[in-house]
Structure 1
Amino acid sequence: MQIIHKAVAPLLLTTLMAASAAFAEPVGNLKSFFASDGLKVTPESYPTAETSHQLLKNQDLAGVNTFLHKRQLTPTDQQPVVRMNRDTYYSFAVIDVSKGASVTIPEVPEGKYVSVQPVTEDHRIQPMMYGAGTFDLKTHIGSHMYIVVRLDATLSEEEAAKIQDKMSIAANSDMPFMAEPVNEASFKEVETTLKAKMPGITKRDGKDALVGMFTAPTDESNKKFTQEKYEVGAAIGWGGAQEIDNIYEVSGNYPSDTCHQANFEDPKNKAFWSVTVYDKAGFMFNDLANLSSNTAKPNEDGTYTLSFGCGDDAVNNIKTQNDSGVFNLGVRHYQPSETVSRDGFRVLPTVKAVK
């Protein structure tokens, strides 16, 4: 019999426990994903951990290869991730693509927006696919993908539901997504640290603050990839779109008791633009939290004036009072025009306090 020296035994036990945690049994539900003895999350591993979190959350609700349709524009009490919006109706799915899979989108009324966005297990964002058709799904990593379908918000709930019900998934395998458990304390600590980096990135990079966050290793977007923004992007806006599909603007915090207005020319995006108001944590606090080029009233000269916390009589006003005492803005340019993508037009620099 081999005898282990008393001084060595504690070290060996620690090593064995660490090895056990490093090779924890994969789990297929969200309840088991966060574990005290799970893998320690680092900034480098956070994007994959958060994607596993989202995959398991959706899988718990809808299973695999089945759409979870949101029949209403995102309610304030149902926001699964930060910086959700009310720009579109959403449909989500976890799809096993290991043996081939596709998504089919039915016809939509002329001029109405619909897109399919695939997200890989390591939170690399593939370009969107638009309109009706059958779209094949392929990934560079893992066996599953998270699919986000966005459908035009100007459709009525009844019209949207009829279109959603005609969406379909074809997959040659239906194995559930599995992930190794992670340590929840380290996950939350890293998430908080990454979110805190965003103001500094905005100050440093200005209008290009979000460039490089949402890319794929399989196309031209990868040239703009940076590790720092990849990590921060997963924390501040998981599931964000590629720059070719959606250019984002994220503001710092404004005092919620001060009226602010933005005055700007219409950038004439191929789809539309939107502005959403969030609280300090990045969540909507009002079901009337956004305006878009589909809903805002233009000025007589075609420009737009948007008001934030300026009273019900102000043009295109969104209320900003909330428990956090501040608000911030998220601007989205859906299928951005060259004015936005090439010339660098941004809405946020036009936001000014009104005395």
Structure 2
Amino acid sequence: MKKLTILATITASLFATTTMAHDLGDHLPKKGQPTAVQLENGGTTKVSKDNFIAAESDKYFFEQQEKSGINHFTHDRQLLTMETQTVVRQNRDTLYSKSIWDTKGGVTFELPILDSYQALQVIDEQHRTVAVLYASEGQNKVTITPDMLSSGQHVWVIARTQVASNDPADIKEGNLKQDMIKGTASSAERYTPKGFDQFDREKVRLALEATCSNSTLPRRWAP
């Protein structure tokens, strides 16, 4: 299985075209309309193209913290479908695990050694990938400290665990592999939202999305 590139992940997550975004279904908020959670965690800081990455990452951070708390994985126990995916073209053969972690004092992530694909990506508040782990010898463990980040002390962590099929037995095996993902943190300070204006953030996102949609450059999407 191909390893996701950082470019593909960012492009698929943040700059989906208008046409393809419709495939995400009605379970997601409508374009340009912040959710109650976003408004609750928003503020008055203006958003422009210059700080959009920080504003959009902030949204992902506080939304995930609402779901999983701090230093705790939330595992998707079933494969995503066209109706349940949250960004364009998410994997259909991997189970997702997501979380927010405090790196103050150091946080260590470790994957088991497996014959199948499992990967863990650590992303900081500027949407920069700090580390990528794989479930193979010598590539499965890392300790992250604040000095490794481009800003802040928190990281957004996503893991992908491959399953052979949607058969219940294969899903159960994948769930067991998800539970083998380890994270050990020295601190549990919650992520503090940065107070970006959520209506501003949506306007900038839509403007960038339109620019990307009109581009003549070839697009690459996560497999």
TM-score, normalised to structure 2, is: 0.72
Q: 2:143 aligns with which of 122, 125, 136?
A: 136
Mapped to 1, the partners of 2:41 and 2:48 lie a distance apart of 16
Report the counterpart of residue 122 of structure 2 in structure 1. 118
For residue 107 of structure 1, report the CA deviation from its aligned partner. 2.8
Of Structure 1 and Structure 2, which has the larger fraction of its residues in strand? 1
* Higher RCO structure (Cα 8 Å, ≥6 apart): 2
Give the 5 Å matches for 1:1-355.
30=38, 32-35=40-43, 38-108=44-114, 110=115, 112-132=116-136, 133-137=140-144, 138-154=148-164, 156-201=170-215, 203=216, 205-206=217-218, 249=220, 330=221, 332=223
Amino acid at match of 1:74: L
- Please state how far the C-alpha of 1:77 moved relative to its aligned partner: 4.0
* One-letter code aligned to 1:151: T
Change (3 A) 1:331 1:168: closer
Query: Which of structure 1's runs of 4+ aligned residues deviate more than 4 A?
Result: none
Give the 3 Å change call, closer, same or farther, for CA 180–331 of structure 1 in structure 2: closer
Structure 1 pair 48/88, CA: closer, same or farther in 2 (3 Å)?
A: same
Checking the alignment, whether the CA contact within 8 Å between 2:120 and 2:133 is kept in structure 1 is: yes
8 A contact 1:114–1:150 mirrored in 2: yes
Q: Is contact 2:126-2:150 (8 Å) kept?
A: no
Residue 158 (structure 1) shift: 0.1
Tell whether the 8 Å contact from 1:32 to 1:181 is kept in structure 2 after alignment: no
Mapped partners of 2:175, 2:128: distance in 1: 29
On the 8 A contact 1:52/1:121 being kept in 2, the answer is yes
Aligned residues of 1:90 and 1:150 also touching (Cα < 8 A): yes
Residue 177 of structure 1 deviates from its aligned partner by 0.4
Gaps of 5+ in 1: 1-28, 210-248, 250-329, 333-355
Task: Check whether the contact 1:93–1:148 (CA below 8 A) recurs between aligned residues.
Answer: yes
Q: Which amino acid aligns with 2:163?
A: A
For residue 74 of structure 1, report the CA deviation from its aligned partner.
Answer: 1.4
Bigger proportion of residues as helix: 2
Which residue is equivalent to 2:9? none
Q: Percent identity?
A: 24
Shift of 1:41: 1.0
* Aligned residue pairs, count: 177
Helix, strand or coil at the partner of 1:196: helix
Structure 1 length as normaliser, TM-score?
Answer: 0.47
Whether the 8 Å contact between 2:128 and 2:150 is mirrored in structure 1 is no
Structure 2 residues not aligned, in runs of 5+: 1-36
Looking at structure 1, the residues matched to 89 and 131 of structure 2 have their Cα atoms a distance apart, in angstroms, of 20
CA distance in 2, matches of 1:33, 1:158: 36
**Larger Rg belongs to:** 1
* Match in the other structure for 1:229: none
After superposition, the Cα gap between the structure-2 partners of 1:97 and 1:189, relative to the gap in structure 1 and judged at 3 Å, is same
Cα 1:188–1:64 shift into 2, 3 Å: same
